[in-house]
Chain A
């Protein structure tokens, strides 16, 4: 009503998005920024306090590791942002922006983790969160090993921790544990009772290194396998291989380089995801662009992102 006191809001709080209209009038979901899904206990307590005061009777755990506050009245936006800020909890993003990266638990406590995905997720969040792409959403995921719990290849850029093994034959005691443990059968025992390795079937999981009793299997290289152009949604694509053994500390720059290409090449194509842009332009263009900065990690050739059929059995 015109004579009622006007609501004053700091619209800067909304700049990166993260406030999502709900069904109910005046009500919004507030998506919280939880890179890699790691939530400190003090922050969790603060979120519970804010949810109790301003939200509904529950919070929602999103599929991208966010906690979402439900039923927030837009008039409380400033108060919610301020209260969350007391424990450095920030609001996430929505729309055509770089989203909060997801990650598995990483390698600090999880025995499968080959790389520090939590560190990578934090770095990417700090440097690239909320960057407008000009075209569509942009999702990044970090998986610590080829088990790939985060389903990295269904993201615009998916990172998967990897180890390239090398054998010191003299240290090998011919126990055969490596071959027994090698799921893709990249290692078989040879006639001399020593392991024989072939790279083609190897998924770089590092199980041979982990199981070897004498450290005859060692890592020659460690880093990320990088797949680009994936997404889910109504027309899912699986991202394809663009880089191998990318050092962990190059992840941010790598994403920035892909973003640069995407911003430019998707110009004039409307609301289009990275994967569909690669299909239109061809993967050679992007490979060439990335070689400028990351030549030693970029694969010789690749194919465009591949369509995943979902209307199966229809």
Chain B
């Protein structure tokens, strides 16, 4: 599983980093995006959805950060 670790990175760098990382993946690849609680988990999934990717699920880990699972969708 491709993991895009955005913990400790604030907006908007985290989203742009996710975009750059997703560029490298093939269409249909499932990836995990690691996000901090607060602004990042509110903003980044919304922005990735708006970019056309398919959000598959979100869960919080015991350490407190979130794992967003998504499928890359190329337009």
Contact = CB atoms under 8 A, between A and B. Distances in A.
B11 A74 contact: no
Nearest to A135: B38
B63 interface: no
Contacts, number: 56
Given A21-B47, A21-B50, A7 B13 contact: no
A96 B40 CA distance: 12
A36 to B, nearest CB: 25
B60 interface: no
A17 interface: yes
Given A19-B16, A95-B39, A25 B52 contact: yes
A211 to B, nearest CB: 51
Contact of B16 (A1, A2, A11): A11
Contacts of B39: 95-96, 271
A271 B19 CA distance: 26
Chain A residues touching B, range: 20 to 34
B72 to A, nearest CB: 10
A20 interface: yes
Interface string B11-32: 1110111011001111100000
A17 B13 CA distance: 8
Which size bracket describes the interface of B in this complex?
20 to 34
B35 to A, nearest CB: 15
A271 B25 CA distance: 34
A95 B50 contact: no
Contacts of A20: 12
A69 to B, nearest CB: 14
B12 A14 contact: yes
Contact of A9 (B20, B47, B52): B20
Nearest to A11: B13
B23 A9 contact: no
A94 B51 contact: no
B60 to A, nearest CB: 16
A296 interface: no
Interface string A74-113: 1001000000000000000011100000000000000000
Given A6-B24, A21-B15, A1 B74 contact: yes
Contacts of B50: 21, 23, 25
Contact of B12 (A21, A96, A270, A271): A21
A4 interface: yes
Contact of A17 (B12, B38, B51): B12
Interface of A: 1-2, 4, 6-7, 9, 11, 14-15, 17, 19-21, 23, 25-26, 28, 74, 77, 94-96, 132, 270-271
| Closest 4 pairs between A and B when the two form their complex, measured CB to CB | A14-B13, A19-B12, A21-B47, A2-B26
